[in-house]
Structure formats: structure tokens, C-alpha cells
Amino acid sequence: MDIFDLRVSARSGGTIAPPVGYQEGRVRIGDLDETLFLCTAVWSGDDYVQHWRGAAKTLADGADFAAFCTDLNSYNVSIFAGFRIADDISFEQWVVPRSAVAVNGRSITPVPAISRIGDDEISSWQVSIKAVRAYAEI
């Protein structure tokens, strides 16, 4: 499946309500379809959406890497790390210490630069750059 989509829900549609201080979201990358709980202590739901669109545009414009943050809090950061491989983007799901990223507005930069793990020990999904570009242009 060539699907790439990240969304924030206005209210919980799932069977489990998000904890206080979190907002429900959804990620779809290829055959991954997962509900997320986005910490709203640092960014609002709209901030996450703007960040995701910016990261998608970065890849669509030719960058080799972009981080799609799905949970930014004081201790950890959950990221879908997108790496360009020819005309495709391979996404790996990471949780890193908050100290491993620099946050500038709605942009996240790994410190130091992160490289692709790409082994059997980590979950990964691949979609075309076309799917990521379509998401950036919504």
C-alpha cells in the first residue's frame, strides 16, 4: 500500500481516551495504521500538523532525511524517521531521549545527526516519495 498520512483527531474516536495532556492522532504509512497519543505540553495538535507538513515538504523538496515527531515531551521524543532511498522513503519508528533533538519552533533536528538503523530489529515501512509529496501539498 502506498499511503502516507498523519492526522490529529478533534476528539477521541477510539475505545481508549487519551490521558490528560494528550490529544489523539493517527498515522498511516504503507500498511501501518496506528492510533497515537500526542503530548500537548510543548506543541498543540495544530503544531504537530504544521511540523508534519513541513517535514513532508522537506523530503518532497529532495532532502535525504526528515523527522516526523509524534510525541514531544520533557523526557522522550517519538519520531518516524524518514530516509530517502531512490524514489521511496523508508520510515523507522524511534523513541529517543529529549536531549537527542533540538527543537526550533515546529522543527526537530537530531543532535548529533542520526543515521538509518535499517536492520531487522526495528520496525520500518516504505512508501513512494509521491505519497509523501501528496501529503505535503494538502
**Residue 76, domain CATH:** 3.30.2450.20
Q: What is the pTM of this model?
A: 0.86
Reading the chain (138 residues) residue by residue, the pLDDT tens digits are: 688 998 898 655 556 788 889 999 999 998 888 888 899 999 999 999 999 999 999 999 999 999 999 999 888 999 999 999 989 999 988 888 999 899 989 988 888 666 666 556 577 889 999 999 999 987
Residue with grid cell 509523501, as numbered in its chain: 132
Phi and psi angles of residue 25, each rounded to the nearest 5 degrees, phi first:
-140, 180
Count of domains forming the chain: 1
Which amino acid is present at 4?
Answer: F
What's the CA gap between 29 and 6, in Å, rounded?
Answer: 8
* pLDDT score, position 131: 92
* pLDDT score, position 13: 57
Pick from 105, 60, 51: nearest CA to 80: 51
Instruction: Provide the residue range defining the domain that includes 56.
Output: 4-136
* pLDDT score, position 14: 58
Half-sphere exposure of 17 (CA within 13 A, CB side): 4
